[in-house]
């Protein structure tokens, strides 16, 4: 469950990603963590893993929304 530990550490860090590069790296890292947790979830069906994945997905959506920026019209 090393990936679970990494996911919780990432979630607890709660850093602000100021530059675009930091946001891109964070988005990729979150995606990697979610996919890893999903593989474990498929085997164990642990509801705690699902909760962690949901929280990470919400973080990822916020980061990606910020990356895309505001629409021009």
Q: What is the pLDDT of residue 71?
A: 74
Q: What is the pLDDT of residue 15?
A: 74
Q: What is the pLDDT of residue 61?
A: 92
Residues 18-45 have pLDDT tens digits of 888 989 999 999 999 999 999 999 999 9
DSSP string covering 6-61:
HHHHHHHH-----SHHHHHHHHHHHHHHHHHHHHHHHHH--HHHHHHHHHHHHHHH
Q: What is the pLDDT of residue 68?
A: 86
Return d(Cα 40, Cα 27) in angstroms, integer.
Answer: 20
pTM (2 d.p.): 0.83
Task: Tell me the mean pLDDT in the region 10-15.
Answer: 82
């Amino acid at each position: 469950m090393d990936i679970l530990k990494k996911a919780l550490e990432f979630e607890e860090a709660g850093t602000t990603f100021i530059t675009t590069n930091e946001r891109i790296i964070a988005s990729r890292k979150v995606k990697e963590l979610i996919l890893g947790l999903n593989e474990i979830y498929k085997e164990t069906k642990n509801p705690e893993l699902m909760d962690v994945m949901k929280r990470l997905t919400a973080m990822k959506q916020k980061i990606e929304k910020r990356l895309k920026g505001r629409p021009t019209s």
